[in-house]
Every structure is written in C-alpha cells, then in structure tokens.
Amino acid sequence: MNKTLEGIILSIRDYKEHDAIIKALCKEIGIQSFVARGLRKANSKNLGAAQVFTHAKFFVEFHEQKTIHTMKTAEIMQSYRTIREDLLKQTIASVLCECMEKADLDMLNISAFDFLQCTMNHLAKTSQPYGLLALFMANMNRYCGVEPYVEGCVHCHSQKQIQAVSVIDGGFVCAHCMNPTKDIIMHKQDLYSFRLLCLADMENFEAIETYQNWTFDHVQMMVRFFEEYSGMYCKSMRFLSCIAKMDA
C-alpha cells in the first residue's frame, strides 16, 4: 500500500552497498524505518531530504504490521538551515535526535513528534541553546519517569539550607543531610534554575530563555539524571561536551 508519512529524521545508517536505512519519528505513528534504495549513489534524488533532523514528507510502500517500509521518495518540509550553519546548534540537534530514538517515547501517552518539532523550532531561533537543551533533558527525564525531588531535602523534607543535588538519592539535599563525597554542591541560583527546569514544560521555553544565561553545566545536571535512571547513554552528548569546552 502506498502511503505518505510526515516525520523528522532521527538517524541514517548504511545498509548494503548503496542503500541506507532511515529512521524517522513520524507524526501520529511514532518511530518508523525506511529502506532507501540507492541513497548512497551520487545521483540519488533523495539526497537533499535524507539528512538527519530534516522534517520531511516520505512517500513509501507501507507494510502493515511492520515498522520497516520501502521509501520511494522524500521531500523536504523544513531543512532547519540555521541549525546546520551553527556547529553548536547542529550538535544539540544530534543529541535531541539520539535521545528521541533511544527513549522511543511513542510508547507513552504524548505526541513525541510534536515535542521534538517544538524543540527544533525553538532551537532554530534561540540565543540560549544550552537553556533549551537543559529543558529538553528535564522533560525527557519526566517522560521517562525520572522526577528529581525539588520541593525540599530528599532525605528529611526540610526546605531550609538546601545546598546540593544528589543524583543517587534523586533530588535536593540540605546542609544537615549532605554527603560531600557524593552530593553535588551548587550555588543558590543554580539550585533555583534546576528546580525551574524540573517543573517547566517545553511550552514555557520563552520564560526559561530570558531567565538567565544558560551554560553546559545546566545541561549536564539533567543528563546525569537521565543516564543514571534511564540507563540510556547518549553518544552525541560526549561530542557536545567537547564543543562546549571550546565554546567556553
């Protein structure tokens, strides 16, 4: 059956000599794979559309009950050129795509496509890409069931003298309960912004964007929780940390 699907490309992997497998997060039906024959040939008409994080329309031979289909052609809907022209934003987009692919959120009762598209649209425009990624990771944590306790100390529930975050214990820690060998001591302002990220949705990004100047450190706190509790390891995050060092 012929079908047209709309989605954002998460990854492209070589398959046989000239073919590739495109994995895309599709509107309504989640992650689907397409075999793209001849994609690696220089004259392939699909080369332009078949790039990671392009929003495209796919014309496919759809195999019911399967998640792998045969792609005939692809057409660009949004190429995100401003993201591709900026190394930092491009790397962040790779992180978004890798996380979405690994977490496979179409299992949950949210539209994973809308969430990724909304994040990509913000990324194209923002002057605070680390703030955006930190919010994305905080939302990913929540969608994966990882919710750090930020209403008080995770041990004694006191709201006084909060001084650190414990990844292992899952939230804020007060001065009295703190274990300096394993807890991460943070400035008051960073504790505030950590809590803000834990409570905000992607729709609140405009407020996050103007809240402060965001850095890679804010992202890293969220990633620690993500990797510790979801068990997912994000390869492109390592490359981003190299870029972030150069950027700083």
Q: Which two tokens stand for residue 112?
A: 């994973």
Q: Is 52 or 153 the residue whose CB approaches Zn ion more closely?
A: 153
Q: Is 67 or 179 the residue whose CB approaches Zn ion more closely?
A: 179
Give the Cα separation of 120 and 183 in Å (integer).
33
Q: Is 107 or 156 the residue whose CB approaches Zn ion more closely?
A: 156
Pairing state between β 68-78 and 19-26? unpaired
Q: How far is the CB of 181 from Zn ion (least distance, A)?
A: 16
Q: How far is the CB of 145 from Zn ion (least distance, A)?
A: 24
Q: Is 165 in the site for Zn ion (CB under 5 A)?
A: no
Q: Is 90 or 158 the residue whose CB approaches Zn ion more closely?
A: 158
Place of tokens 């414990």: 166
Q: Is 156 in the site for Zn ion (CB under 5 A)?
A: yes
Q: Which two tokens stand for residue 205?
A: 């990004």
Identity (one letter) of the amino acid at 186? M
Identity (one letter) of the amino acid at 120? M
Contact 199, 150 (CB under 8 A): yes
Distances (CA, A) of 122 to 95, 129, 133, 203, 225: 15, 9, 10, 10, 23
Q: Is 158 or 241 the residue whose CB approaches Zn ion more closely?
A: 158
Q: Is 162 in the site for Zn ion (CB under 5 A)?
A: no
Q: How far is the CB of 177 from Zn ion (least distance, A)?
A: 3
Q: Is 155 in the site for Zn ion (CB under 5 A)?
A: yes
Q: Is 153 in the site for Zn ion (CB under 5 A)?
A: yes
CB-based contacts of 170, cutoff 8 Å, min separation 6: 148, 149, 154, 225, 229
Q: Is 30 or 152 the residue whose CB approaches Zn ion more closely?
A: 152
Q: How far is the CB of 175 from Zn ion (least distance, A)?
A: 8
Q: What's the burial of 148, exposed, middle or buried (CB within 10 Å: 0-12/13-18/19+)? A: buried
Q: Is 57 in the site for Zn ion (CB under 5 A)?
A: no
Show contacts with Zn ion in window 170-189 (CB under 5 A). 174, 177
Q: How far is the CB of 155 from Zn ion (least distance, A)?
A: 4
CA-based nearest residue to 4, from 93, 71, 50:
71
Judged by CB under 5 A, how many residues of this single chain contact Zn ion? 6
Contact 31, 101 (CB under 8 A): yes
Binding-site ranges for Zn ion (CB under 5 A): 153, 155-156, 158, 174, 177
